Amino acid sequence: MYEIETPALLLHLDVVERNVRFMADRARRLGVALRPHAKTHKCVSLGRLQLEHGARGLTVATTVEAAVFARAGVRDLTWAFPIDPGHIAPVRRLALETGATVRVVVDDLATAQALAGSGLHVWLKVDCGNHRAGVDPSGRYALAVARELAREQGLTFDGILSHSGHAYRTTNKPDAAQVAEQERSVMVEFAERLRREAIPVREISVGSTPAMASAERLDGVTEARPGNYVFYDRTMVLIGCRGERAGVGGVASTRGRPFHRECGRTRAVEGHGPRARGAGGDGRGARGSGADGRHADAGARADSRRVGGGRGRPFQGG
């Protein structure tokens, strides 16, 4: 039982800290830099914890997340969603106002051309098998977009980036490792193709938590962007990529007594009165994501309402 207003999202901070150390150590062993995806936690204090353990920067999913972390002092951010021309000016203003390096992602030629003169750092998004976004690495169009970025007309071409989101559809660690190797090989081979065309590739960025937790090698890759690992939620448990406790759970109140019709009669089913129970971890006490027990920002509070309320689609980190 928790003396806390429900619904609420609760963190087991000892588990979270262990998860952060684990992935930082794994990235070092695999020889890649770590740029965690902060969309999982949306929390400045947890982002700082990841940076303290060696992350080179953070990845975000929205311009709002980028603004929050940049204004909190995070100096290197990748907005890992294909940008459209209408967002170029706001992102540029954010970079100028905060002094942060804001890296954007593109997967079409018109937007690559529109980025000329923006002063932004740009990744070319590559489809590594997820089929949600990115250029086809075997096609001519991918070369055309890469050539435009490589001209570096008022922008910096960082390299190529992918997201192995399809690793979340696996059901065991060997399958997730296979997705990780597929992503690695697609990206390394595409980088070699670009270099043969005299297009320089500074960095190769990959990642999802199932792939990163299962990869046997990341030769040729320079950075990884897992996000879910900070919590290791039920999705990761089902995949079997981690055997320890999840670092997050929720509490909600059970109210009222449901009724069922049985044999032509209506009867009350025994239920619980109003009470709050924790979910996740091992049932021990937990506290909010801020140092004083509160959520660190409005985004975390919003997430807690979604988790506790039971509405919407299942949540997955990067």
Q: Answer yes or no: is 271 within a domain.
A: no
Q: How many domains does the chain have?
A: 1
Of residues 116, 115, 71, the one with CA closest to residue 96: 71
| pLDDT in 10s for each residue of the chain, 318 residues | 558 888 998 888 999 999 999 999 999 999 999 999 999 999 999 999 999 999 999 999 999 999 999 999 999 999 999 999 999 999 999 999 999 999 999 999 999 999 999 999 999 999 998 888 999 999 999 999 999 999 999 999 999 999 998 999 999 999 999 999 999 999 999 999 999 999 999 999 998 999 999 999 999 999 999 999 999 877 787 787 665 668 888 888 887 776 665 555 544 444 444 444 444 433 333 333 333 333 334 333 333 333 333 333 333 445
In a domain, 297, yes or no: no
State the CATH number of the domain containing residue 96.
Answer: 3.20.20.10
Q: Is residue 286 part of a domain?
A: no
Q: Is 211 exposed, middle or buried (0-12, 13-18, 19+ CB in 10 A)?
A: buried
- 255 inside domain: no
Task: Count the neighbouring beta carbons within 10 Å of the beta carbon of residue 194.
Answer: 21
The percent helix, strand, coil of the chain (3-state, each to 5) is: 40, 20, 40
Crossing angle of the two packed helices 63-71 and 44-52, in degrees rounded to 10: 70
284 in a structural domain: no
Which among 156, 149, 146, 151 is positioned nearest to 196, based on CA atoms?
146
Q: Is residue 3 part of a domain?
A: no
Secondary structure letter of residue 270 according to DSSP? P
Indicate the pTM of the whole model: 0.79
Contact assessment for residue 91 and residue 120, using Cβ atoms and an 8 Å cutoff: yes
In a domain, 96, yes or no: yes
pLDDT of residue 238: 79
In this prediction, residue 262 carries a pLDDT of 55
CA-to-CA distance for 17 and 39, rounded, in angstroms?
Answer: 17
Per-residue model confidence (pLDDT) at position 265 = 52
Per the structure block, which two tokens stand in for 104?
């954007």
- Residue 160 inside a domain? The answer is yes
Q: Which domain holds residue 126?
A: 17-226
